[in-house]
Amino acid sequence: MLTAAGVNPMGLRQQIEKDIKTITTEIERLSIPVTTFDQKKYIATVSAEDETLGELVAKVIEDMGVDGMVAVEESKNSETTVDKQEGMQLDKGYLHQLFQTNPERMDATLENPYILVTDKDIPSLAVIKDIVVECAKQGNKLFIISPNFSPDAIGALIDNKMKGSLLSLPIQAPSFGLNQKNTLQDIAIFTGAKFITSDAGHKLEDIKLDDLGHADYVTSTKSETIIVGGKGSKELIDNRVESIKTAINKEDQDFDREKLKERLAKLTSGIAVIKVGGATEVEMLERLERVKDAVAATKASVISGIVPGGETIYLKAREVLSKDSLLYKVLYEPFKKLVNNAGLNDGQLYERLLTTKIKNPGIDVRTGEVIDMVESGIIDPTMVSVQALINSSSVAIQISTTGALVIPDNAQMSQLPKRGQN
């Protein structure tokens, strides 16, 4: 509506970006640090909706550290347990959703796969045909890490999966340049694979089964991959760790030192696997999702702190803006929508929030009463509140400056505003 009234979209964009930066800084300033075990337990319990599960999640995160790897998977029985294993996390995920093996959870898991590690591109499946055939004969799975895969290679692997001839999972090699080669060699040592590298004149056509590595399992999402239980030689892994430690002590460039530390963490930190059980499959799957939420919420809270929930953090943080600011008015809307959806009057309740002496005031939408949100357990990770604001403002800016959207469902087109009505 502002652009329809003649407001310059680019000027509006600049003002929104400026105000967003001011607001996010204020939210971070208002953030409450999470440092004690009791705080972690409290957050995990609220997310898991179960005190026992909350305490278990808090203990795992306390033990592994905020940067430690924590995986959540189904248990083989009704018990929920924690298993500490050797593991390595990579910031690359599956290359196509058709590689998923668990569409409900949107992940791909290969148990006891063969593992091919190379710094050479895969231009087609023909170059690794022999090893693909051998893996298929063994009735096994194939996990491939390479810098690049051609569309033809990806298509052929998907086709083999669909036909049931070979279950495979290709991912792009993490990092770039020399650090990528070093990381690939780390992975090869961790899994017991031969590093197929162009530096040594290796050819993809010459790969044998003995050149492939192994692991207990590999799990990939759209954005990350975890290799658990690599079958590499402990002696070689220990030697690699010592080599990286020596390199860290000698490195004088901050960037390169940080990359070395990242590689060291991948080889030494291991992974904690929370195996969630239940009396029935339905109960187990429901508990599994709650534990995943608890792990994510607790980690996010430890990293960034927490803020009062119930959309009240935006009401408090917006006071650093001018009352004439567009964003000042917009930040009232989440609170308004929340209480209106509960059948309550937002205007009356907002006035009560302004006059109360409660430290972290908010509305209990079940009763309409003003309560301390933090003491009542109605909290959000600071990271979530900030990211929601950044993401929504980004969408608003793009719409206001382009005046159009591209969406996949034509049925939704009639619900979009006409050009000039944004």
Q: Crossing angle, helix 37-48 and helix 281-304, to 10 degrees?
A: 140
Tokens in use for 265?
């963490």
Q: pLDDT digit of tens for each residue in the chain (422 aa)?
A: 555 555 566 777 888 889 999 999 999 999 999 989 988 998 999 889 999 999 999 999 998 887 777 888 889 889 999 988 788 989 999 999 999 998 888 899 999 999 999 999 999 999 999 999 999 988 889 999 999 999 999 999 999 999 999 999 999 999 889 999 999 999 999 999 999 999 999 999 999 999 999 999 999 999 999 999 999 999 999 999 999 999 999 998 888 888 898 888 888 877 888 999 999 999 999 999 999 999 999 999 998 999 999 999 999 999 999 898 889 999 999 999 999 999 999 999 999 999 999 999 999 999 999 999 988 888 889 999 999 999 988 888 887 777 666 666 544 444 444 444 44
In this structure, what DSSP letter does residue 185 have?
Answer: H
Q: Crossing angle, helix 382-402 and helix 281-304, to 10 degrees?
A: 90
Amino acid of residue 46: V
CATH 1.10.560.10 occupies which residues in the chain? 9-33+307-415
Residue 128 neighbours by CB distance under 10 Å:
24
Q: Characterize the bridge pairing of strands 108-111 and 87-90.
A: unpaired
3-state secondary structure of 110: strand
Q: What is the pLDDT of residue 168?
A: 96
CATH 3.30.260.10 occupies which residues in the chain? 37-86+276-304
The reported pTM is 0.63
Concatenate the DSSP letters of all residues of 210-278 into one string: GG-EEEEEEEE-SS-EEEEEE---HHHHHHHHHHHHHHHHH---HHHHHHHHHHHHHHHS-EEEEEE--
| 3-state secondary structure labels for all residues of 321-374 | CCCCCHHHHHCCHHHHHHHHHCCCCHHHHHHHHHHCCCCCEEEECCCCEEEECC
Q: What is the pLDDT of residue 402?
A: 72
Bridge partners, residue 118, by sequence: 196
Q: What is the pLDDT of residue 414?
A: 45
Calculate the CA 321 to chain-centre distance: 32
Contact (Cβ atoms closer than 8 angstroms) between residue 374 and residue 34: no
Query: Which CATH architecture group holds 37-86+276-304?
Result: 2-Layer Sandwich (3.30)
CA-to-CA distance for 182 and 390, rounded, in angstroms? 35
CA-to-CA distance for 204 and 341, rounded, in angstroms? 60
CATH 3.50.7.10 occupies which residues in the chain? 89-232
Fold for 89-232, please state it. Answer: GroEL (3.50.7)
Residues 6+ apart with CB under 8 A from 276: 72, 73, 74, 75, 80, 284, 287, 288, 291
Q: Domain spanning 9-33+307-415 has what CATH number?
A: 1.10.560.10
Q: What is the pLDDT of residue 422?
A: 43
Q: What is the pLDDT of residue 111?
A: 94
